[in-house]
Amino acid sequence: MLKSFRTTLAPIACLVFSAISATAMAETITIATVDNGDMVRMQRLTEHFTKDNPDVTVEWVTLDENTLRQRATTDIATGGGQFDVVTIGTYEASIWAQRDWLLPLDDLPGGYDIGDLLEPVRSGLSHDGVLYGAPFYGESSFTMYRTDLFDTAGLEMPDEPTWEFIKQAANTLTDRDNGISGICLRGKPGWGENMALLTSIANSYGASWFDMDWQPQLDSEAWNNALTTYSDLLTQNGPVDASLMGYQENLALFQQGQCAMWVDATAAGQFVINEDSMVADSVGFAMAPDNGLGKRANWLWAWALAIPQNTEHKETAKKFVAWATSKEYLALVAETDGWASVPPGTRKSLYDNPEYQKVPFAAMTLASIEAADPSKPTVDDVPYTGVQFVDLPEFTGIGTAVGRQIANVLEDSATVEDALKNSQWVTEKQMTRVEMLNRD
């Protein structure tokens, strides 16, 4: 009887031990990401990753762009350990790598093929030649426009428009009675909102944030010309309350048919021609405008997945990052949502794919990315890299403060001259504080 009792208990003990072992082996990784369409799709498709990795649970913290940056920076700087994977941009990648906050990603599993990454994007996410952020999607900026409105007005959008043409077209196409703005541009204050666009415009006008001695240059004639163009476009031909309109708000306006033109991220291409867009069948794409000085208003950005040094789940985090930014993931999106929905701007093999080449914005996206040069973002030489930002830790504060000054112009509470004078003062004060200016 004792033998029978032991025999009965043995399978139960094995089951209990197996359950305990499985629980001990299971891992949960927490991913902090931004609330845009591509990242939301990634969350939906993560079931394919967990199906192949049943011992892994993925938890998401999805935030708007500004909140994501604040929380991720605070957590990683203090060693909080709240996140195992964080979504960062080209601005953070090099700075955080220099501070030893991130794991190098030179050994991603699964035949990742780092060499397939587009060179401008890979370079922007590397430090000393080592990749620290795996690009989920890459982008530049380009011009989106309503082909139907252009046809009706007898206008033809050049593949490479100038700012002068854009101003003339905006004047012609503005139709307040029917709720159509001639142009939509980012006006919401923020270093990654209005200042990303305005800095790119300023580059095309020959302006720069600093000269080779790190002296701020915001009170220059070139900045005045750039800001005047920007403010005139929005105050005369832009949407109502332009200073409240960021990327998401302008995207919604364009999808609703309320923008004749929109200069913004190439990543928006898929969303202006998808089922949510009322004008999907009448959208054209052109390069970002220039001013004849050899620089277009092209920026360069990538949202990337990075791994904090202090994560307790390094290998699992790497496995997820490799999956979410792989060739196989791009194929998965194409299969489930169509080629136009594939995260753009990351891999050479995507742009070599004949199926993807049929996507209306594909070729213009690649040309725009290749036109941006972070190592020489301006007409004149400068001591910094970064097209729509300056690769300084202090730039987020400086850019946001200046962005507020620029919004005052749109709100008619400051002149162009006053806004730039105040911006110069703010920038000089901050740079002096961090001892980058040698003042007597």
Contact 75, 83 (CB under 8 A): yes
Q: Which of 28-37, 271-280, 422-431 has the lowest mean pLDDT?
A: 28-37
Are both 52 and 199 inside the same structural domain? no
Instruction: Report the number of distinct structural domains present in the chain.
Output: 2
Cβ within 8 Å of residue 172, ≥6 positions away: 153, 155, 182
Domain membership of residue 439 (yes or no) is no
Contact 320, 58 (CB under 8 A): yes
The 10s digit of each residue's pLDDT in 131-172 is 999 999 999 999 999 999 999 999 999 999 999 999 999 999
* Whether the predicted pLDDT of 4 surpasses 90: no
Q: Which residue has the higher pLDDT, 115 or 9?
A: 115
* Whether the predicted pLDDT of 23 surpasses 70: no
At residue 260 the predicted structure's pLDDT band, cuts being 50, 70 and 90, is very high
Q: What is the mean pLDDT of residues 302-317?
A: 95
Mean confidence (pLDDT) of the chain:
92
* Whether the predicted pLDDT of 264 surpasses 90: yes
pLDDT of residue 35: 87
Are both 156 and 256 inside the same structural domain? yes
Q: What is the mean pLDDT of residues 294-321?
A: 96
Are both 51 and 103 inside the same structural domain? yes
pLDDT of residue 67: 87
Cβ within 8 Å of residue 289, ≥6 positions away: 143, 161, 162, 163, 165, 166, 204, 263, 296, 297
The 10s digit of each residue's pLDDT in 167-219 is 999 999 999 999 999 999 999 999 999 999 999 999 999 999 999 999 999 99
pLDDT of residue 6: 45
* Whether the predicted pLDDT of 291 surpasses 50: yes
**Which residue type is seen at 81?**
G
pLDDT of residue 111: 84
Domain membership of residue 408 (yes or no) is yes
Are both 108 and 148 inside the same structural domain? no
At residue 440 the predicted structure's pLDDT band, cuts being 50, 70 and 90, is very low
Are both 264 and 181 inside the same structural domain? yes
* Whether the predicted pLDDT of 425 surpasses 50: yes
Q: What is the mean pLDDT of residues 262-291?
A: 97
Domain membership of residue 364 (yes or no) is no
* Whether the predicted pLDDT of 3 surpasses 80: no
The 10s digit of each residue's pLDDT in 49-74 is 999 999 999 999 999 877 888 898 89
Cβ within 8 Å of residue 44, ≥6 positions away: none
Are both 116 and 31 inside the same structural domain? yes
pLDDT of residue 375: 87
Are both 130 and 186 inside the same structural domain? no
Domain membership of residue 282 (yes or no) is yes
Domain membership of residue 363 (yes or no) is no
Domain membership of residue 94 (yes or no) is yes
Are both 283 and 305 inside the same structural domain? no
Are both 81 and 32 inside the same structural domain? yes
pLDDT of residue 53: 96
At residue 251 the predicted structure's pLDDT band, cuts being 50, 70 and 90, is very high
Are both 12 and 95 inside the same structural domain? yes
- Can you tell me the distance from the alpha carbon of 279 to that of 285, in angstroms, rounded to the nearest whole number? 13
pLDDT of residue 25: 60
pLDDT of residue 438: 54
Contact 232, 407 (CB under 8 A): no
pLDDT of residue 156: 98
* Whether the predicted pLDDT of 9 surpasses 50: no
Domain membership of residue 368 (yes or no) is no
How much is the pTM?
0.88
Are both 132 and 153 inside the same structural domain? no
Q: Is 36 left (phi over 0), alpha (psi -120 to 50) or beta?
A: beta
* Whether the predicted pLDDT of 22 surpasses 90: no
The 10s digit of each residue's pLDDT in 355-408 is 999 999 999 999 999 999 888 999 999 999 999 999 999 999 999 999 999 999
Domain membership of residue 362 (yes or no) is no
CATH number at residue 201: 3.40.190.10
Are both 109 and 154 inside the same structural domain? no
Torsion angle, CA of 203/209/214/219, rounded to 10 degrees?
120
User: Domain limits at 233?
Assistant: 141-298+375-433
DSSP state of 288: P
